[in-house]
């Protein structure tokens, strides 16, 4: 099933500890979570494999989940399941713009009608409600990224409210709140960057709800 919206919302709320739904509504939180998924997809895209059957032609439709402007084909395996593995060098294929759209074009290879080839490419993660292609091992990093965006949104709210029209009671503390939430946003982004690097090297960070508490104003 993968990481769900319910999972990430609960984790992020536990990290940020901001219950005011007037300043940051549940709808806003879900929009920011979806934005985080888009950002995360760029940082560590979802890897898909599409199976093709040869047609003895040079041109093939792009993979079904290929997104122009985001996806990239990075490997074509042909023949398939060979030992050792065989891939077509990039100089022998390209994604080309034609009059009716973009296609995968081969220059020196022409798979026969009874042959298959595998196209590996990047795409965004599927993420909708309780349907997700994001693996559980990415939950921690995604929660950190969401927390950063939550804090940025809260800082933006306070920044927009700090104006001369506020009463004397409302004005004190607004500037410090902006700085505090901006600082917290940077902190979560740093943890996100660290988590992504650790995941690449095989070291998985874990969310520590004892250490990752709401910021202490005395340390700012």
Q: What is the 3-state secondary structure (H, E, C) of 15-66?
A: HHCCCCCCCCCHHHHHHHHHHHHHHHHHHCCEEEEEEEECCCCCEEECCCCC
| 206 pLDDT higher than 90 | no
Q: Residues 82-127: pLDDT tens digits? A: 899 999 999 999 999 999 999 999 998 888 888 999 999 999 898 8
| 201 pLDDT higher than 60 | no
Both 99 and 172 in one domain: the answer is: no
Both 139 and 215 in one domain: the answer is: yes
Q: Residues 35-92: pLDDT tens digits? A: 999 999 988 899 999 999 998 889 999 999 999 999 999 999 999 988 999 999 999 9
φ/ψ bin of 11: left (φ > 0), alpha (ψ from -120 to 50), beta (otherwise) = alpha
Number of domains in the chain: 2
Both 36 and 50 in one domain: the answer is: no
pLDDT of residue 219: 33
Average pLDDT over residues 174-186: 87
- Phi/psi for 181 (5° steps) reads -70, -35
Distance CA 94, CA 67 (A): 16
pLDDT of residue 36: 95
For 196, the domain range is 5-44+127-219
Instruction: State which of 123, 138, 167 marks the end of a domain.
Output: 123
Both 109 and 57 in one domain: the answer is: yes
Both 82 and 113 in one domain: the answer is: yes
Record the pTM. 0.74
Both 136 and 94 in one domain: the answer is: no
Contact 58, 106 (CB under 8 A): yes
Both 40 and 143 in one domain: the answer is: yes
Distance CA 167, CA 207 (A): 40
Instruction: State which of 99, 123, 147 marks the end of a domain.
Output: 123
Both 13 and 61 in one domain: the answer is: no
């Amino acid at each position: 099933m993968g990481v769900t919206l319910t999972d990430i919302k609960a984790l992020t709320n536990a990290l940020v500890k901001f219950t005011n739904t007037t300043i940051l509504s549940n709808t806003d939180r879900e929009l920011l979570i979806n934005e985080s998924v888009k950002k995360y997809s760029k940082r560590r895209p979802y890897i898909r494999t599409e199976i093709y059957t040869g047609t003895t032609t040079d041109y093939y439709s792009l993979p079904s989940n290929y997104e122009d402007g985001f996806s990239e084909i990075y490997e074509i395996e042909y023949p398939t399941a060979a030992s050792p593995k065989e891939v077509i060098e990039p100089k022998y294929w390209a994604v080309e713009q034609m009059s009716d759209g973009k296609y995968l074009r081969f220059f020196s290879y022409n798979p026969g009608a009874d042959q298959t080839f595998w196209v590996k490419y990047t795409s965004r993660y599927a993420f909708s409600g309780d349907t997700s292609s994001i693996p559980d091992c990415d939950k921690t990093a995604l929660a950190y990224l969401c927390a950063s965006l939550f804090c940025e949104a809260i800082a933006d709210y306070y920044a927009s409210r700090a104006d001369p029209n506020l009463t004397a009671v409302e004005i004190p503390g607004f500037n410090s709140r902006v700085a505090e939430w901006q600082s917290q946003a940077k902190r979560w982004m740093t943890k996100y960057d660290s988590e992504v690097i650790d995941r690449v090297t095989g070291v998985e960070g874990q969310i520590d709800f004892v250490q990752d508490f709401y910021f202490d104003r005395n340390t700012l």
